Amino acid sequence: MKGGIPLLLSPAINDIKSYKKEYFSKDLIAALTVAVVAIPQSMAYALIAGVNPVYGLYTAIVSTIVGSLFGSSKHLIAGPTNAIALLVAGSMRNYMGLDNAYQLLFLMTFLVGALQIFFGAIKLGKVINFVSHTVIVGFTAGAGVLIALGQLSTLLSISIKDSAHMPTTMKFYYVITHLDQTNFYALGLGLMTIAIMLICKRINKNLPGALIGIVIPIIFIVIFSLEQKGIKLTGYIPSSLPPFKMVQFNLESIQSVFSGAIAISIIGLVEAISIAKSISSTSRQKIDANQEFVGQGLANLVSSFFQCFPGSGSFTRSAINYHNGAVSRLAGIMSGVVVALVLLFLAPFAKYIPNPCLAGVILVTAYNLIDQKEIKKVVKVGLLKSDSIAMWVTCFATILMPDLDQAIYLGIALSIALYLRDTNRVPVKILVPTQGTESQIIENEVEVLKGKVDILIIQLEGNLYFGSAYDLEEKLASLVNKSKVFILRMKYVVSIDLTSINALKVFIRTVREAGGILIVSGVKADLSSMLKNSNLDADIDVDNIFMSENEVFASSTNALERARAVLKCEKDTEKNSLACNLLESVTNFNGQQWSANRNI
């Protein structure tokens, strides 16, 4: 319960309570604009998924309404998307053409929704952050290429026998080797749609280029009877609302589509959350990731009973919704209602829509999937960096691997593996204190310590966990014979686990056996309790542990004072070593300076 309102209904109820009359006109204008874009897009994405365009319209109705009602974002528009449609096509490729193909498709939609609701119910919203942004960039870029290649046969009107069971790369090879079968009327119409969309975008981004790009070619088809020239049309679309149909459950069918459902549920959530957060950065709305999981899950689960394929948040339609003045989630709900009214009363006219024109719409959206700015940013960081490797591997795996869900899993596993590779190295700074002018003590950072020094400061940083313990142990072991007195500075350590503490114990005992002294400085309160509970203090004289203090460098100063005592420096400086003369400068350290030279 959240303030007496169930989590499931709280977003919609809160919006209803705060809704004002002046919001309605803004929401209605946004809804009409979204619907104009959604109609051709949804039909095109259905073709990507390998199903009849009517199922795209069904998804644009049910998924949009339910997602807007229960999601966290006020502006996110759920429904068919190009990336999810491509995943659907990949998952269903081996089943299309079978008698129960659509039963399996709707079952997969149900499983996607159930998984997403489960993820939200157990509050896995933050776990989505483990899916690297570069994996999504790579996947969407690969999906864009794959979608474009898959639509070439439709654009050129080249028939491919049993194409539903063929990988996209094989379809592309077939098209390239059969270019002599191109229908130039179909190609001309498709290019006309692409040109109209590009021109509309240049004139005004708010113009419904996709809709205009489909309507104008229809005029040419009717005037010149181009259907007789071999132009394939969408065909009959029933003038009815999405019909209710019970999902068919059986264990064998669930096993067949479960792997695909997991991949689609993960990518769908990443897509939806990314879009919602992107818009919220401008709208200043707080997004609850777990609530959005539930909203997207319900959208897919309910949709499965109305003959819909899986959907997610659409960046294009969500951006249009927000930029056209939508104030509340009612805009998304009304956009679904508008699509339903169009399907109910204008469906007979849809049979004239040419498939090559829908292919043109898809080609433009596929091109927009390739985020060139983000790719350039990743490449600038370095081709051999973790982000770049994860992006390119995921991109090419998406294009070349036979199953898209495997490409997703590969990208996620690779990004986690690369993250662990990057984090298993401990940042260790080796600092040698030297005396500067005017009683300053200068810390000289060195990469490699060749000789032996009297005092050595070892500065540890970041999170010391089991994955980096081996690297920590190796680096510390290499310093054992480099000094008599070691100051282990821990003020920059964020956290430490038992495995890393054991690595410190090994170092402390090795230093002691070699006749050296180890002093620990900058210990924070939370780390102090951890060190005590692990009995680390039993290996170090309590006088050699200095807590982190508010005064800048106070613990380091105290540690150096302790080093002075350990080295038995005398007041008579003529008898002292260079190290003692250095430490003498910190006898009255308060109020003096401490500087660091990082150039060595």
> Which pLDDT does position 40 carry in this prediction?
87
Q: Tokens 């490449």 — which residue?
A: 379
> Which pLDDT does position 80 carry in this prediction?
94
Helix (H), strand (E) at residue 596: strand 594-597
Give the residue-averaged pLDDT of 381-393: 83
pLDDT at residue 253 is higher than 80: yes
pLDDT at residue 594 is higher than 50: no
Instruction: Answer left, alpha or beta for residue 438, where phi above 0 means left and psi between -120 and 50 means alpha.
Output: left
For helices 21-49 and 133-156, what crossing angle results, to 10°?
70
> Which pLDDT does position 341 carry in this prediction?
94
> Which pLDDT does position 76 carry in this prediction?
94
Q: How many CB atoms lie within 10 A of CB 132?
A: 22
Closest C-alpha to 63, from 270, 374, 300: 300
Model confidence pLDDT, tens digit, residues 222-242: 888 888 888 888 878 888 899
- Whether 183 and 391 have beta carbons less than 8 Å apart is answered as no
Give me the chain's average pLDDT, please: 83
> Which pLDDT does position 568 carry in this prediction?
66
168 CB-near residues (< 8 Å, 6+ apart)? 146, 149, 150
**530: pLDDT confidence band, cut at 50, 70 and 90?**
confident
- Whether 140 and 394 have beta carbons less than 8 Å apart is answered as no
Instruction: Tell me the two tokens of residue 361.
Output: 């719409």
> Which pLDDT does position 97 carry in this prediction?
79
> Which pLDDT does position 593 carry in this prediction?
42
Q: Is 79 helix (H, G, I), strand (E, B) or coil?
A: strand
- Amino acid, single-letter form, for residue 239: S
Strand order in the sheet with 545-547: 545-547, 517-523, 483-496, 453-464, 428-435, 441-446, 594-597
pLDDT at residue 64 is higher than 90: yes
pLDDT at residue 598 is higher than 70: no
> Which pLDDT does position 352 carry in this prediction?
82
> Which pLDDT does position 591 carry in this prediction?
37
Beta bridge pairs of residue 316: none
Give the lowest-confidence range in 57-61, 205-209, 306-310: 205-209
pLDDT at residue 102 is higher than 90: yes
Q: How far apart are CA 83 and CA 321, in angstroms?
A: 20
pLDDT at residue 597 is higher than 50: no
> Which pLDDT does position 75 carry in this prediction?
92
> Which pLDDT does position 599 carry in this prediction?
33
* Strand segments (E) across 416-526: 428-435, 441-446, 453-464, 483-496, 517-523
* Residue that wins the pLDDT comparison between 592 and 452: 452
Most confident of 21-30, 52-61, 488-497, 578-587: 52-61
Give the residue-averaged pLDDT of 386-398: 87
> Which pLDDT does position 580 carry in this prediction?
66
For the domain made up of 428-597, give the CATH fold: Transcription Regulator spoIIAA (3.30.750)
- Classify the C-alpha dihedral 145-417-493-427 as positive or negative: negative
By residue count, the chain amounts to 600
- Whether 59 and 306 have beta carbons less than 8 Å apart is answered as no
Instruction: Tell me the two tokens of residue 151.
Output: 């639509």
Model confidence pLDDT, tens digit, residues 260-287: 999 999 989 988 888 888 788 677 788 8
> Which pLDDT does position 592 carry in this prediction?
41
> Which pLDDT does position 569 carry in this prediction?
66
- Whether 328 and 46 have beta carbons less than 8 Å apart is answered as no
In percent, the amount of the chain with pLDDT more than 70 equals 86
Give the residue-averaged pLDDT of 565-577: 58
pTM over 0.85: no
Q: How far apart are CA 416 and CA 20, in angstroms?
A: 46
- Amino acid, single-letter form, for residue 203: I
Give the residue-averaged pLDDT of 81-100: 87
Model confidence pLDDT, tens digit, residues 118-127: 998 888 877 7
Q: Beta strand 441-446 with 428-435: parallel, antiparallel or unpaired? A: antiparallel
Instruction: Tell me the two tokens of residue 80.
Output: 């068919």
Most confident of 325-339, 387-401, 543-557: 325-339
The span from the first CA to the last CA of the chain, in angstroms, equals 59
DSSP-derived secondary structure for 156-190: HT---TTGGGS-HHHHHHHHHHTGGG--HHHHHHH
Give the residue-averaged pLDDT of 80-93: 89
- Amino acid, single-letter form, for residue 323: H
- Residue 596: phi, psi to the nearest 5? -130, 130
> Which pLDDT does position 315 carry in this prediction?
79
Domain boundaries for CATH 3.30.750.24 within the chain? 428-597
> Which pLDDT does position 4 carry in this prediction?
39
Beta bridge pairs of residue 545: 520
> Which pLDDT does position 468 carry in this prediction?
86
- Residue 130: phi, psi to the nearest 5? -80, -10
Give 135's DSSP letter.
H
**196: pLDDT confidence band, cut at 50, 70 and 90?**
very high
Beta bridge pairs of residue 313: 78
- Whether 586 and 434 have beta carbons less than 8 Å apart is answered as no
Instruction: Tell me the two tokens of residue 347.
Output: 């469906």
Most confident of 165-174, 212-221, 328-337, 517-526: 328-337
